[in-house]
Amino acid sequence: MTYALEIKDLKKVYGTGVVALKGINLNVEEGDFYALLGPNGAGKSTTIGIITSLVNKTSGKVKVFGHDLDTDLVRLKQQIGLVPQEFNFNPFETVQQIVVNQAGYYGVSRKEALERSEKYLKQSDLWEKRNVRARMLSGGMKRRLMIARALMHEPRLLILDEPTAGVDIELRREMWTFLRELNKNGTTIILTTHYLEEAEMLCRNIGIIQSGELIENTSMKTLLAKLQFETFIFDLDRFDKKPEIKGYTSYFEDEQTLAVEIERNQGVNQLFEQLTQQGIKVLSMRNKSNRLEELFLKITEEKQPVEEKHV
Amino acid sequence: MFNLYFTALKSLAVKETNRYLRIWVQTLVPPVITTSLYFVIFGNLIGGRIGQMEGFSYMEFIVPGLIMMSVITSSYSNVSSSFFSQKFQKNIEELLIAPVPTHVIMWGFVFGGLGRSILVGILVTVISLFFVPLQVYSWLIIILTLFMTSILFSLAGLLNGIFAQSFDDVSIVPTFVLQPLTYLGGVFYSISMLPPFWQAVSKVNPIVYMISGFRYGFLGVIDVPVMVSMGILVIFIVALYAICWYLIEKGRGLRS
């Protein structure tokens, strides 16, 4: 089977001696929407840097749709579109110049590139801004410009390194719809993000990198099934006597806010019954944090190297 | 594959051309003003008192050198600042992630330097016509020297851009190396006027060969044999090309 991305025993030691990757093995299937998560400095950007040839690897193998990084670099590069974390376009060029030039670097003729620029700039809601210099765009527009630029050569694998950082929630949701559509049409997507809700909403499979090692590589469903409990927050109406909750681990975050850990399959009916019996009115209820976030913190905490834990 | 590389080269060359045309006030106007001042002060005002040099009026003598000086400065600074700016803004990554070989990247930048310096060379030549009629001894030598010098200093600028880590690094070489070498390269005098020792020292300066070759194309007079000038140019181009190619290929200052 040809994978969209195959990584074997990938290692990276920087000139300073910092070991960024300790031998990562990872396969991403064609058509997948894959989340690559990890704390800051875990090795996500180094991995992406190596795949896109911005970082030289120390050892290991990388293949994209069967094209080897060492022996078939040109074809490998043709398959990939990259949306980097930082804005890296020329701010003095116009929006259309940026996307048309980028297409040219991939061998797309100018005529074809101009046609595609209309398609992708319209999709990104930037067509009206095509003659505006990139530095004049808002943060959200700049993000969309980077996505449009990455799509100009119609890559089979799109890598997004924190594409929604600093983007407001409305725009983020628009981008999610856009990315889902893109994935539905056959583009394999690899996403790194700090918004775990984003990963949960979009991705089917997930890998977690920590301290240069891939500590989880599974489907989102399987990973979420590992979650033993979720913490819920109940905003309570005024009461005379603090309620006693039996069968649940609970604590008060403040006078009116009750946090309750609810185990898998435990249900909340009993909890509501207890509160009702004690005359407590629940005003609202919500998750303490996103469930993937809770799991992510738990996994990364467990797998933290001993020496780091005691620092 | 040829189509891919050719389209990529065209895109990069167009981008580089657009860059210096977009900022024409910074790239095209200053050399024209500076050289006009040289023509007025050295050629017209002082030159009249100097008399003949190698059988030509002083103004006629310095025209080729001044054109060459503008060409050298323009090609060098175009590539060094463009390459470093792209490194600084990180948009060099657009090229590094694309299927563009190092040769194409290098020629793309060289085309930028070549285009700007030839345009500046033409503008300065047009200005010189207000002061002295154009003399041409050999168009072939003029064009060959012009193109080769421009390519050479575009590559030198690229080398500077590769190593530069700040904007200061980009301006240090033109100020402290390029300008003194150009002034001492025979723009305003013939090196045959110097005592034998200083003539020998001058011949270590590669710019002497470029100005001499260029002046030969215009006036038919030489400080050093024209084939030596051409040979030196070719050697420097090949050496600089090889060094730049190796450094970009290895990702010096570009890839971690």
| Closest CA in chain A for residue B249 | A56
Domains of chain B: total: 1
Is the pLDDT score of A241 beyond 50? yes
Q: How confident is the model at residue A308 (pLDDT cuts 50, 70, 90)?
A: very low
The single-letter code of the amino acid at A9 is D
Mean pLDDT value of segment A272-289: 84
Among positive and negative, which fits the CA dihedral A49, A54, A57, A62?
positive
Distance CA B18, CA B15 (A): 5
Mean pLDDT value of segment B186-199: 86
Distance CA B42, CA B50 (A): 10
Backbone angles phi, psi at A3, to 5 degrees: -90, 155
- Whether residue A301 is contained in a domain is answered as no
| A249 CB within 8 Å of a chain B CB | no
Q: Across the interface, do B8 and A49 touch by the CB < 8 Å criterion?
A: no
Taking only the tens place, the pLDDT of each residue in B141-155 is 999 999 999 999 999
- Whether residue A266 is contained in a domain is answered as yes
Closest CA to A104 of B15, B170, B24: B15
Closest CA to A265 of A229, A221, A223: A229
User: Within 10 A of A246 (CB to CB), how many other CB atoms are there?
Assistant: 8
pLDDT of residue A291: 64
The strand order across the sheet containing A67-68 reads: A19-28, A5-13, A59-64, A67-68
Least confident of A189-203, B99-113, B208-222: A189-203
- Whether residue B256 is contained in a domain is answered as no
Which has more confidence, A264 or A50?
A50
The strand order across the sheet containing A33-37 reads: A80-83, A157-161, A188-192, A33-37, A205-210, A213-219
Q: Which residue has the tokens 């193998």?
A: A61
Could you tell me the residue range of the domain that residue A24 belongs to?
A: 5-225
Is the pLDDT score of A283 beyond 60? yes
Q: How confident is the model at residue A295 (pLDDT cuts 50, 70, 90)?
A: low
Q: Are residues A250 and A166 in the same domain?
A: no
- B169 vs chain A: nearest CA distance in angstroms? 21
Q: Are residues A196 and A66 in the same domain?
A: yes
Domains of chain A: total: 2
Mean pLDDT value of segment A210-215: 88
Q: Are residues A209 and A240 in the same domain?
A: no
Q: Which residues of A touch B97 (CB under 8 A)?
A: 52-54, 77, 80, 82
- Whether residue B255 is contained in a domain is answered as no
- Whether residue B45 is contained in a domain is answered as yes
Percent of chain B residues past pLDDT 70, beyond the cut: 100
Is the pLDDT score of A77 beyond 60? yes
pTM here is 0.83
Q: Are residues A78 and A113 in the same domain?
A: yes
Q: Are residues A132 and A41 in the same domain?
A: yes
Mean pLDDT value of segment A169-191: 89
Which has more confidence, B196 or A306?
B196
The secondary structure of chain A as a DSSP string is: ---SEEEEEEEEE-TTS-EEEEEEEEEE-TT-EEEEE--TTSSHHHHHHHHTTSS--SEEEEEETTEETTT-HHHHHHHEEEE-SS--S-TTSBHHHHHHHHHHHTT--HHHHHHHHHHHHHHTT-GGGTTSBGGGS-HHHHHHHHHHHHHTT--SEEEEESTTTT--HHHHHHHHHHHHHHHHTT-EEEEE-S-HHHHHHH-SEEEEEETTEEEEEEEHHHHHHT--EEEEEEEEPP-SS-----SSEEEEEETTEEEEEEETTT-SHHHHHHHHHTTPPEEEEEESS-HHHHHHHHHHHHTS-HHHHT-
| A13 CB within 8 Å of a chain B CB | no
Q: Are residues A148 and A218 in the same domain?
A: yes
Closest CA to A77 of A87, A67, A85: A67
| A105 CB within 8 Å of a chain B CB | yes
CATH of residue A80's domain is 3.40.50.300
Mean model confidence pLDDT for chain A: 87
Q: Are residues A254 and A142 in the same domain?
A: no
pLDDT of residue B157: 95
- Whether residue A209 is contained in a domain is answered as yes
Q: Across the interface, do B99 and A55 touch by the CB < 8 Å criterion?
A: no
Q: Are residues A31 and A180 in the same domain?
A: yes
Distance CA B48, CA B52 (A): 9
pLDDT of residue A115: 95
| Closest CA in chain A for residue B86 | A90
Last residue of a domain, one of A183, A203, A225: A225
The single-letter code of the amino acid at A310 is H
Which of A15, A53, A92 is the closest to B97 by Cβ? A53
- Whether residue A300 is contained in a domain is answered as no
- Whether residue A272 is contained in a domain is answered as yes
CA–CA distances in Å: residue A108 to residues A117, A282, B29, B152: 11, 60, 35, 30
CATH of residue A290's domain is 3.30.70.1560
Percent of chain A residues past pLDDT 90, beyond the cut: 48
Distance CA A106, CA A200 (A): 33
Last residue of a domain, one of A225, A244, A267: A225
Q: How confident is the model at residue A262 (pLDDT cuts 50, 70, 90)?
A: confident
Q: Specify which residues A208 forms β-bridges with.
A: A37, A216
pLDDT of residue B83: 95
Among positive and negative, which fits the CA dihedral A288, A291, A296, A299?
positive
Q: Do the bridges between strand A33-37 and strand A205-210 make them parallel or antiparallel, or are there none, so unpaired? A: parallel
Percent of chain A residues past pLDDT 70, beyond the cut: 93
- B91 vs chain A: nearest CA distance in angstroms? 5
Q: How confident is the model at residue A51 (pLDDT cuts 50, 70, 90)?
A: very high
Q: Across the interface, do B256 and A55 touch by the CB < 8 Å criterion?
A: yes
Which of A55, A91, A101 is the closest to B255 by Cβ? A55
**What tokens were used for A279?**
């005359």
Is the pLDDT score of A57 beyond 70? yes
- Whether residue A302 is contained in a domain is answered as no
Per-residue b/e over A273-294, b at no fewer than 16 CB within 10 Å? ebbeeeebeeeeeeeebbbbbb
Least confident of A165-174, A179-188, A287-296, B18-27: A287-296
Taking only the tens place, the pLDDT of each residue in B204-256 is 888 998 898 999 999 988 778 888 889 999 999 999 999 999 999 998 888 88
- Whether residue A181 is contained in a domain is answered as yes
Q: Are residues A169 and A96 in the same domain?
A: yes
- Whether residue A304 is contained in a domain is answered as no
Distance CA B43, CA B40 (A): 6
Taking only the tens place, the pLDDT of each residue in B12-29 is 999 999 999 999 999 999
- B155 vs chain A: nearest CA distance in angstroms? 21
**What tokens were used for A47?**
């991995």
Distance CA B180, CA B176 (A): 7
ipTM above 0.90, yes or no: no
Is the pLDDT score of A6 beyond 80? yes
Which has more confidence, A291 or A126?
A126
| Closest CA in chain B for residue A15 | B256
Q: Are residues A255 and A170 in the same domain?
A: no
Q: Are residues A142 and A79 in the same domain?
A: yes
Last residue of a domain, one of A205, A225, A245: A225
Backbone angles phi, psi at B44, to 5 degrees: -80, -55
Which of A14, A86, A107 is the closest to B90 by Cβ? A86
Is the pLDDT score of A259 beyond 70? yes
When mean pLDDT is compared over A239-243, A253-257, B241-245, the highest value belongs to B241-245
Taking only the tens place, the pLDDT of each residue in B108-133 is 999 999 999 999 999 999 999 988 88
The single-letter code of the amino acid at A109 is S
Taken as a whole, chain A contains a residue count of 311
End-to-end Cα, chain B, rounded Å = 28
pLDDT of residue A275: 87
Is the pLDDT score of A226 beyond 80? no
Could you tell me the residue range of the domain that residue B227 belongs to?
A: 2-250
Distance CA B228, CA B240 (A): 18
